[in-house]
Amino acid sequence: ALITLRQLLDHAAEYSYGVPAFNINNMEQGLAIMKAAEALDAPVILQASRGARSYAGDIMLRHMVQALAEMHPDIPVCLHQDHGNNEATCLSAIRHGFTSVMMDGSLEADMKTPASYDYNVEITAKVAEAAHAVGASVEGELGVLGSLETGEAAKEDGSGAEGKLAQDQLLTDPDQAADFVSRTKCDALAIACGTSHGAYKFSRKPDGDILSMTTIEAIHQKLPDTHLVMHGSSSVPQELQDLINAHGGDMPQTYGVPVDEIERGIRHGVRKVNIDTDCRMAMTGQFRKLATDRPSEFDPRKFLIPAMEEMERLVRDRYERFGTAGQA
């Protein structure tokens, strides 16, 4: 059945676990996630970006997620809008069956320019009021995702600010977070701690200078009852980089968020952990491998089956390590 983010994260907080939120764009990603969740009895957050909504279409996404839930009647599923850029995006998601929306007011509606605090409070509060009136949940974001190494947002996908960001924009301020949650009434708060979207988060294995888990700890101290959200939480596994590069890929060496750092976050109030890049890499590694191992193959299913299996393995690992397994 479809449930809200609030219901799901309240349970996660009560039992001290985290829930990975996986981005989906197509049926195969949905099948892989649900298979893993069913095997491990884990609750599910499926999130669709604006890009996913235009790729698959709202009607397709809605029916696809309803079908996945119907195939797995004992697994709670939340359908969440990832990085909503304005009220219209969030409200149209709710109209299309999403049970939760992210109003990302950390950036202006263009998603490129850092927003003022007042703008962020105002638009997030407005969306929360409208969403709550129809029983949907809202995630807000305070602080701009981006690299503490370079002061820049990761560039390889569309989302993220342009130009240099100051250190105080890149790390969420705990006092401001407390004010933000009380004024907006958001159900979950995405924070900035040095992670960014995409594969190129860190040029070296991150330490406390470039991945600030202490920021999360300080926010959790101020806001012990607020569900925190970590974006940009792919770990960009070395094996997947190596597999892709061994089969014609050309990904420069990069480092993601170590899973044990996410586990540390979960001990300090992180309840939702956003993962897209790792799933993309899991699938792409298998596409590339099959293409080189069997150059005569042209049936897409022969590519998609191992890709789904690899993604399912990754999803299972995160359900186990975040403590989500057994909580459905």
Q: Please give the residue ranges that form the binding site for ligand 13P (CB under 6 A).
A: 23, 82-83, 197-198, 231-234, 274-278
Nearest distance from residue 108's CB to Zn ion, in Å? 16
Strand-pair category, 270-275 with 227-230: parallel
By CB under 6 A, residue 51 contacts ligand G3H:
yes
**Binding residue for Zn ion, selected from 72, 201, 227, 231, defined by CB under 5 A:** 231
Q: Answer yes or no: 58 catalytic.
A: no
By CB under 6 A, residue 52 contacts ligand G3H:
yes
Q: What's the rounded Cα separation, in Å, for the pair 179 and 223?
A: 10
By CB under 6 A, residue 41 contacts ligand G3H:
no
Please say whether the beta carbons of 217 and 34 come within 8 A. Answer: no
Please say whether the beta carbons of 296 and 43 come within 8 A. Answer: no
Q: Is 71 helix (H, G, I), strand (E, B) or coil?
A: helix
Please say whether the beta carbons of 291 and 247 come within 8 A. Answer: yes
Nearer to ligand 13P, 277 or 286 (CB): 277
By CB under 6 A, residue 288 contacts ligand G3H:
no
Residue given tokens 């988060």 in the structure block: 201
CA-based nearest residue to 212, from 230, 197, 235, 224: 230
Helix residue ranges per DSSP H, 196-255: 213-222, 238-246
Give the per-residue contact string, 144-163, with ligand G3H (x = CB under 6 A; - = no): -------------xxx----
Nearest distance from residue 193's CB to ligand G3H, in Å? 16
91: tokens are 């409200």
By CB under 6 A, residue 316 contacts ligand G3H:
no
Nearest distance from residue 234's CB to ligand G3H, in Å? 8
Residues serving a catalytic function are: 82
Which residues contact ligand G3H (rule: CB under 6 A)?
Answer: 23, 49, 51-52, 82-83, 157-159, 197, 276
